[in-house]
Amino acid sequence: MFLLRGLLKTFLLFVFYSTSPIYSQVASPVASTIPMPVELSFYFQKDSLVNLEHIRSTCNLLTDPNALYKDGFLLPARKKAFIRYVKTISEQLELAYLLKKKIDTKTIELVYQLEWMRLSFIQKAESNSTIKLSFHEKKQLFLNTLKSKNSRRIAIPQANFSTEYESIYSSFFTELVDSLCPEERFDLLAKKKKINAKTQMIVLANQFSIGGSAPKFEVLDLDIENKWIIKWGDEVHTDIFCSRLFAGLGYDVDHPYYYTENLILIFDGVSNVKTPEELLDSLNIKYGVNIQNYMGKTGKVTGEMAKSLPSLTPFIGKPYAQFVECSLEARPDRVKRLGSFMPYALKNDSRMELRGSLLAQIFIDNWDTKEDNTALTLVNKGNKHYRLSAIFSDLGTSMGVHISWLNQDFKVGLVNELPWEAVKIKGQKLVFTSRMNSLVDLYKKTNYEDLRWMALKIAAIDSVGLRSMIEAAHWPKAIGELYFHKMASRRASILRAFHVLDPHPIAFTKQLTIHENGKCVVKKGKLLKAADLATYPISYINFKGRMRNYGK
């Protein structure tokens, strides 16, 4: 529905702007000198000055706490930093109006940011109001999944195609630091957002986070400043690996980290969830998932514990829980999330760095590629300076996905389900093996050159980088090793398909066999049932997963 709504919106915008007298009078002379997305032309008058009335209308919508609804949708709460940023932009544009400044690249960039925030803010309102997907929407996602496997084809150009790309610098969409090793980029991004995932984390229970089908719970740092989300289930490892991989390819991402008993969750009485038992029950009711297998030690904080971890002292006597494993995803105070990054608006579908991300999605075999899994964020750079950044979020529905048509459930992180090859060459076409539940508009426009641009980024990942990303995900050893070989193979298939000379060939074998404790756990590139030890909280072979509720 939201895809259709997006299409409809784009169409209406097109009709409106192309028939609007303002657009026809204004945009032609303006557009002929400085190209800009059609949505922005409304922010300028025919004399190329900024349109103060329209700017104020947008800024009032984005900042006025009394404006609760737009087109019947309840608007999301506006964060202080967001309001401040909008106002700083608004003031620069108001000054440009007073100074009668003609349209220039700086004003276009300011207006671009304003309109981007407006669209994303409204998208969030619409998305929040969609409690359940309609039958038609579910059917569409189902059909997309069905159609996408082995049917997405890209023609290999017959004529000579460009193999030289201009360096793409887009401060909003990519964090491309080519001088940095791909595996180091995730930590650099985290540092910029002041994310401090300590070796030993103590967090306070807060509340249930909304949306999604994976069981999760929001917690707070001890300084009650930064939020985190604890996640359990089949995405624990995949999300961690894929976020690092996407960061390595130059994108901004969420920041999940792997924890075991080195995470202590305290129930200090402030949250409405007061004990580990209540947490278990509530997660079961809310997500239909029992995380009992993930529960480690539980009890009440003792003086003995506080002796070895002094920061536990104020919580002596309070209930706590540790986990066999979980991921802890940062929601730092420095980063404010809006809605999606609007892949279909503001000419974003013409951006090579976005269209090329299709190959990155294919590389990790990401199934849930809905628009809702992108986010526009406002990052505090310090000293009240902010920047907008588009992120790829929730990348965990990947790395071997099984979708059951009968039970309507799905499971991710099934290594045997991940094909050894991401792309195959069939005649003059490239065929991709991944399934996707949604093909956002920009991916429909993706061409060979966009994908080849991404293939070059993938080529920059070497053996050391891939290994370190897999180690960060903390899969059981044999499974991690099998993933290493599979991802190396998938990488090689991509480079081969796009005629990219491999600068860092990674050795792999499809016949990988691994023995553990005298038992064969991986045989000829396949994880055996014998490896599915009872000590793991989740099976890496069994298909039984969680219900597909598509994030609602």
Partner 1 sequence: MANKTNFVLSFIFLIKLSCSYSQGIEEQRKYCVKNADTFEVSLKKDPTIGGISLLHHADDVYYDLYLDSPDYTLKRNGYSLRFRKRISNENGVSYSFQLKSEMVDLNGVRMEVEESDLSFYKFLQDTSIIHLTDIIDPLFDFADTKIPTIALQKCRETLQEWLIFKSNAPILPFQQLKSLNAVLFNDAMIGSFAPVLVGKSLRSRFHGVIDPEQNDSLYRSTIRNQIAFKELPKKLQENDTLNWIFEASLDKSQFVPLEENPRTIDLIEFEVENKFFIPERGAQLIDSFQKEAETKYNLGPVTKSKYAQAIDILHN
In the complex, which residues of this chain contact partner 1 (CB under 8 A)? 56, 59-60, 62-66, 77, 84, 86-88, 90-92, 94-95, 98-99, 223-225, 269-270, 272, 314, 333, 384
Going from the C-alpha of 384 to that of each of 99, 163, 225, 252, 334, the distances in angstroms are 25, 41, 17, 21, 10
- Least distance to partner 1 from the beta carbon of 526, Å? 49
For residues 412, 546, 126, 44, the Cα torsion angle rounded to the nearest 10 degrees is 0
Nearest distance, CB of residue 378 and partner 1, angstroms: 16
Smallest separation (angstroms) from partner 1 to the CB of 122: 17
In angstroms, give the least distance from the CB of 20 to partner 1: 22
- CA separation for the pair 466, 299 (Å, rounded): 39
CB of residue 267 to partner 1, shortest distance in Å: 13
- Give the residue with the Cβ less far from partner 1, 97 or 142: 97
* Torsion of the alpha carbons at 82, 211, 130 and 73, rounded to the nearest 10: -20
Cβ closest to partner 1, residue 312 vs residue 326:
312
Contact (CB, 8 A) for 141 and 437: yes
Least distance to partner 1 from the beta carbon of 375, Å? 23
Q: 84 vs 445, which CB is nearer to partner 1?
A: 84
From the CB of 37, what's the least distance to partner 1, in Å? 23
Sheet strand arrangement including 252-253: 252-253, 385-392, 374-382, 335-337
**Nearest-angstrom CA–CA distance, 444 and 432:** 14
Identify whether the C-beta of residue 291 lies closer than 8 Å to the C-beta of residue 236. no
* Comparison of 60 and 260: residue with beta carbon closer to partner 1: 60
For partner 1, give the closer residue by CB, 384 or 429: 384
Nearer to partner 1, 63 or 209 (CB): 63
Return the amino acid letter for 360. Answer: A
Neighbours of 352 (CB within 10 A): 19
Distance from chain centroid for Cα 371: 10
**Cβ-based nearer residue to partner 1, 96 or 412:** 96
User: Token digits for 523?
Assistant: 């045989």
**CB nearer partner 1, residue 107 or residue 374:** 107
HEC string of 517-537? Answer: CCEEEEECCEECHHHCCCCCC
**333/441 with CB nearer partner 1:** 333
Query: From the CB of 22, what's the least distance to partner 1, in Å?
Result: 19
Six-digit token pair at 263? 């995470």
In the complex with partner 1, the residue whose CB is nearer, 88 or 260, is 88
In whole angstroms, the minimum distance from the beta carbon of 90 to partner 1 comes to 6
**Kindly report the CA angle at 340 between 337 and 343, in degrees rounded to 5?**
145
Q: Give 241-272 as a DSSP string.
A: HHHHHHHHTTBEE-EEEEESTTEEEE--SSSS
CA angle at residue 286 from 282 to 290, to 5 degrees? 65
Residue with tokens 């009968």: 406
**CB 207 to partner 1: min, Å:** 9
Token representation of residue 123: 């998208």
For residue 210, give the DSSP letter.
P
Residues 300/335, Cβ–Cβ less than 8 Å:
no
Question: Judged by CB, which is closer to partner 1: 89, or 395?
Answer: 89
Nearest approach, Cβ of 335 to partner 1 (angstroms)? 15
The HSE-up count of residue 501 (CA atoms within 13 Å, CB side) is 2
